[in-house]
């Protein structure tokens, strides 16, 4: 299963690129499995940007699947959100301020 991934700051800096394609096993069909694969590929620096010190994804992160309404990782079961072959997933850190 092939997934197109778009990474925005600061993840793109840690990965050294802003676009990539990730190949997942057919058994891996969730945002969690995609994130696990990205962390495996890009290492601890990438992981520290996503996870807090209690091993939870930082609440400000969200994912857009095929440019539709975002999945906010502070929501229950967000990481279980299914993904499909050919999906495009964009990871964005939502910041507040002005």
Residue 24: the pLDDT is 93
Q: Which tens digit of pLDDT belongs to each residue from 56-95?
A: 998 899 999 999 989 998 888 999 999 999 999 999 998 7
Bridging pattern class, strands 88-93 and 2-7: parallel
Count how many Cα atoms sit within 13 Å of the Cα of residue 62 in the half-sphere of its side chain.
13
Measured CA to CA, the distance from residue 21 to residue 30 in angstroms comes to 15
pTM for the full predicted model? 0.91
19-50 per-position pLDDT tens digit: 999 999 887 689 999 999 999 999 999 999 99
């Amino acid at each position: 299963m092939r997934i197109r991934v778009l990474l925005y700051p600061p993840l793109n800096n840690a990965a050294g690129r802003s676009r990539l394609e990730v190949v997942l096993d057919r058994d891996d069909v969730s945002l969690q499995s995609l994130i696990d694969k990205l962390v495996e590929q890009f290492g601890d620096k990438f992981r520290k940007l996503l996870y807090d010190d209690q091993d939870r994804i930082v609440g400000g992160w969200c994912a857009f699947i095929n440019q539709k309404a975002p999945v906010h990782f502070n929501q229950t079961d967000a990481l279980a959100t299914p993904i499909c072959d050919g999906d495009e997933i964009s990871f964005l850190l939502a910041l507040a301020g002005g």
